[in-house]
Amino acid sequence: MQEISAGEAWKYGIYNSNTNMKEEDLLILENLGKLLGKTDTQGQLSELELLDTFITKQINLAEEEQKKNEKLYRSLGIITGLAITIIFI
């Protein structure tokens, strides 16, 4: 903590962690670090409620993408299985 500020350490930790988060997710976390400690308790609670809204939206988008990709991968698996079966016949 003597070399970098807490904000810089927060940002470093977010972007250098080994996660599968998208850029939008990382920006939400980065903004959380900027907001904490800047206002009174009520202000922070309202900021956290807003953050909860953003996170819920990101979760919904991720679930939609998962459903779309799930169908795609299932179809590719079936087609690949059929192709291998045809090759062996």
Domain count, the chain: 1
> Does residue 1 sit within a domain?
no
Closest CA to 30 of 42, 15, 40: 15
Q: Where are the alpha helices (DSSP H) in the chain?
A: 6-15, 23-35, 41-88
- Predicted pLDDT at 1: 55
- Predicted pLDDT at 29: 85
> Does residue 49 sit within a domain?
yes
Residue-range definition of the domain harbouring residue 20: 6-88
> Does residue 58 sit within a domain?
yes
Q: pLDDT tens track of the chain, all 89 residues?
A: 578 877 788 888 888 888 888 888 888 888 888 877 777 888 888 888 888 898 899 889 989 988 888 988 888 999 999 999 999 88
- Predicted pLDDT at 48: 86
